């Protein structure tokens, strides 16, 4: 451990000076192998942006609002998503194998008792390959005394699998209730994910987000978080993209909307067409009629 006393507060983030991408649309991924790049391209496309639809909530929370029946609530939305984030249980039991939307597979295990979350159990490499995962997602609880070490170990192990078989890994930053959700925390959490090998990092939008994306050498996507009014969710998505995010991995703000198909199309337009929040909200209202 270096002597922490001599470290100065970070400030030279170079916001506004994009990281060199070596000719690949996603930063930090230009030197990866063909299979990795191909899978990342399936998720992010030519513009390097992605709307991931998250419906993995049931793996620790059961059938909460919106994911009671994934066949009814999520499958009809697949045509608007660039990627689906779900567990292997839902994939095999509910998602039609004719689906061609790439899958970011929840690849760690959870329990409903949060202190025992992710007890060093991650998916077998063969299993991720068998279900044709385009990426593997694991939770990382930076700053949580009980689970940080276990979850960092999970990420590290999953990255070993991913590197061996060419499957990108997404580190998902889990924010404990006792942690301050500020830019400093998210810079720490996202950077630790990237330095431990994550190819994509999922985190939350916060004020000062441009320093979070600048200091993280790989693409960041944001989680939507708890359900808020549609206009607000579209604004968060817009700000995140504007501040350097490569996309969103949104769940509740899509599937808990009164009009999920309209909402997912409006979010997609923010990400891929650069619609401003008011324009996107107008689109949502028009589609919801």
Neighbours of 12 (CB within 10 A): 8
Count H helices and E strands in the chain, helices first: 12, 8
* Contacts of ligand 5RP in 211-270 (CB under 6 A): 223-225, 249-253
- Hey, is 106 helix, strand or coil? strand
CB of 251 vs ligand 5RP, minimal distance in Å: 3
Per the DSSP assignment, residues forming a β-bridge with 139 are 172
Per the rule left: phi > 0, alpha: psi between -120 and 50, beta: everything else, 48 is: left
Based on the residue annotation, tell me whether 202 is a catalytic residue of this protein: yes
CB of 143 vs ligand 5RP, minimal distance in Å: 15
- Which residues have a Cβ under 8 Å from the Cβ of 220 and sit 6 or more positions away? 190, 200, 201, 202, 203, 212, 213, 244, 245, 246
Nearer of residues 211 and 257 to ligand 5RP, judged by Cβ: 257
CB of 201 vs ligand 5RP, minimal distance in Å: 11
* Contacts of ligand 5RP in 44-73 (CB under 6 A): 54, 56
- x/- letters, 107..146, toward ligand 5RP (CB under 6 A): --------------------------------x-------
Separation CA 130–CA 234 (nearest Å) = 36
Q: Catalytic: which of 37, 202, 226, 289? A: 202
Nearer of residues 25 and 218 to ligand 5RP, judged by Cβ: 218
Nearer of residues 171 and 277 to ligand 5RP, judged by Cβ: 171
CA distances from 244 to 29, 141, 159, 248 (A): 15, 23, 24, 11
CB of 60 vs ligand 5RP, minimal distance in Å: 8
CB of 53 vs ligand 5RP, minimal distance in Å: 9
Q: Which residue, 271, 264, 221, 203, is CA-closest to 74?
A: 264
CA distances from 144 to 96, 115, 150, 230 (A): 37, 9, 10, 31
Nearer of residues 13 and 148 to ligand 5RP, judged by Cβ: 148
Interface with ligand 5RP (CB under 6 A), residue total 13
Task: Check the CA dihedral 32-37-39-44 and report its sign.
Answer: positive
- x/- letters, 6..45, toward ligand 5RP (CB under 6 A): ----------------------------------------
Nearer of residues 168 and 224 to ligand 5RP, judged by Cβ: 224
Q: Which residues are known to be catalytic?
A: 202
Q: Which residues bind ligand 5RP (CB under 6 A)?
A: 54, 56, 85, 139, 172, 223-225, 249-253
């Amino acid at each position: 451990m270096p002597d922490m006393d001599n470290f100065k507060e970070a400030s030279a983030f170079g916001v506004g000076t994009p990281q060199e991408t070596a000719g690949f649309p996603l930063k930090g991924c230009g030197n990866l192998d063909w299979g990795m790049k191909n899978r990342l391209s399936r998720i992010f496309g030519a513009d390097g942006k992605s709307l991931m639809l998250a419906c993995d909530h049931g793996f620790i929370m059961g059938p909460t609002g919106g994911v009671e029946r994934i066949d009814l609530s999520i499958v009809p939305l697949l045509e608007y998503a660039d990627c689906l984030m779900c567990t292997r249980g839902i994939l095999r039991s509910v998602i039609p194998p004719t689906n061609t939307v790439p899958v970011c597979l929840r690849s760690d295990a959870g329990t409903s008792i949060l202190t025992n979350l992710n007890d060093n159990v991650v998916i077998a490499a063969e299993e991720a390959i068998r279900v044709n995962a385009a990426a593997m997602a694991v939770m990382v609880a930076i700053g949580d005394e009980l689970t940080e070490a276990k979850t960092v170990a999970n990420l590290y192990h999953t990255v070993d699998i991913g590197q061996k078989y060419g499957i990108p890994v997404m580190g998902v930053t889990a924010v404990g209730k006792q942690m301050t959700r500020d830019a400093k925390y998210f810079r720490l959490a996202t950077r630790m994910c990237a330095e431990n090998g994550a190819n994509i990092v999922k985190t939350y939008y916060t004020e000062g987000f441009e320093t979070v994306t600048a200091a993280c050498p790989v693409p960041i996507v944001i989680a939507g978080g708890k359900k808020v009014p549609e206009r607000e969710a579209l604004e968060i998505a817009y700000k995140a993209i504007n501040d350097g995010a490569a996309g969103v991995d949104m769940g509740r703000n899509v599937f808990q909307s009164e009009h999920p198909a309209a909402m997912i199309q409006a979010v997609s337009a923010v990400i891929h067409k650069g619609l401003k929040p008011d324009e996107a909200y107008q689109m949502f209202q028009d589609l919801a009629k």
